[in-house]
Amino acid sequence: MKVKNAMIKDVSAIFENETVEEFIVSCIRKNRSGFPVVDEHFRVVGFISESDIINNALPSYFSLLQSASFIPDTHQFVRKIGEIKDEPVSKFMVTPPIVVHPEDTAIHAADLLIKKRLKAIPVVDDEHQLVGIFTRINLIHVALEGKINSR
């Protein structure tokens, strides 16, 4: 199956100059954990997720969670979020973005999702403009239908 047959076509994105606070509000409103980041021509230039914000607010947070003795310093986290809330998402986004194309196979997209431990991959056209998104639930759905290897 091709990515174009499994992707979500009605997709949201965030502009690279939008703030961290605007990103957080968009995540809450759209019940998403991340967004492709686009420039003024809607070309995908990065990807931003809640993990990127947490990692920047508390760089060692995820590794410390592995420790049984870890007690989070919420004051530090709140302070740091307050410090970065007006910064542009471009400062924290992952670049270069990992993307797929509509004609790529679902197997290729699945391989990237799994190996890179991603929740979603932007789908771009030849001009690198956002045309969709392929998520883990899309992967599960095509696998459930037995169509992951179909043409």
Name the token pair of 7.
Answer: 């992707």
Q: Which domains does the chain have, with CATH numbers?
A: 3-144 (3.10.580.10)
Question: Tell me, what's the pLDDT at 96?
Answer: 95
AA identity, residue 69:
S
Question: Tell me, what's the pLDDT at 102?
Answer: 97
Question: Tell me, what's the pLDDT at 73?
Answer: 63
pLDDT by position in tens, the chain (length 151): 899 999 999 889 999 999 999 999 999 999 999 999 999 999 999 999 999 998 888 766 555 555 555 555 667 778 888 999 999 999 999 999 999 999 999 999 999 999 999 999 999 999 999 999 999 998 898 888 887 776 6
Report in angstroms the alpha-carbon separations of 29 from 7, 32, 147, 151.
Answer: 21, 8, 32, 36
> Which is it for the CA torsion 25, 97, 40, 138, positive or negative?
negative
Question: Tell me, what's the pLDDT at 61?
Answer: 56
Question: Tell me, what's the pLDDT at 70?
Answer: 54
Report d(CA 90, CA 61) in Å as an integer: 21
Name the token pair of 106.
Answer: 């679902």
Report d(CA 93, CA 98) in Å as an integer: 12
Question: Tell me, what's the pLDDT at 147?
Answer: 76
Report d(CA 78, CA 82) in Å as an integer: 6
Q: Using alpha carbons, select from 47, 40, 19, 57 the residue that is nearest to residue 119.
A: 47
